[in-house]
Every structure is written in structure tokens, then in C-alpha cells.
Amino acid sequence: QLAFDGLTIGLVYVILAAGLVLILSVTEIFFVAYGQFYMWGAYVTWYVVDRFHLNYFAGLVLAIIASLFFGLICYVFVFRRA
């Protein structure tokens, strides 16, 4: 169990680091709010699963879609103007 938990949290760190490197290399902007976007997606997943009693994976898909639209709105109104 301990090895599985360590592997799981390690994979989360890898996904976060890969996303940060990808954003930095493509946009050339050091995006310091990346962690907040990640937590927003986790909160949306928790809220959908808890409030609407959906499956975890359905909540995860809805959180990905919601995060995509939230990121698109931030890009259009914040980053494109910079």
C-alpha cells in the first residue's frame, strides 16, 4: 500500500511538472498560478462528486471540461492582452 501511494503521488508530481514545463516552453510566460488551476480542478471534482453523487470519473471529466473553459477565459482576458 505504501509503495502504491508513493507511486501515485509521484505521478501527480510528474504531471504537474510536465504541465509547468509545457506552459513555460510554449508561451514563454512563467505561469505561477498553475497550482491554483490544479486545485480548482480538484475542487470542482470534489464538488461534483459530493453534491451530485456522480461517479468519480464522471466528476473528473466534468472538472477537465470546466478547467478547460476557465483556462480559455483566463487566456482570452488576461494573457492575450499582456
pLDDT in tens, 45-55: 999 999 999 99
Backbone angles phi, psi at 57, to 5 degrees: -70, -35
User: With 0-12 CB in 10 A as exposed, 13-18 as middle and 19+ as buried, what is 50?
Assistant: exposed
| Better-predicted residue by pLDDT, 16 or 6 | 6
SS3 76: helix
pLDDT in tens, 54-71: 999 999 899 999 989 998
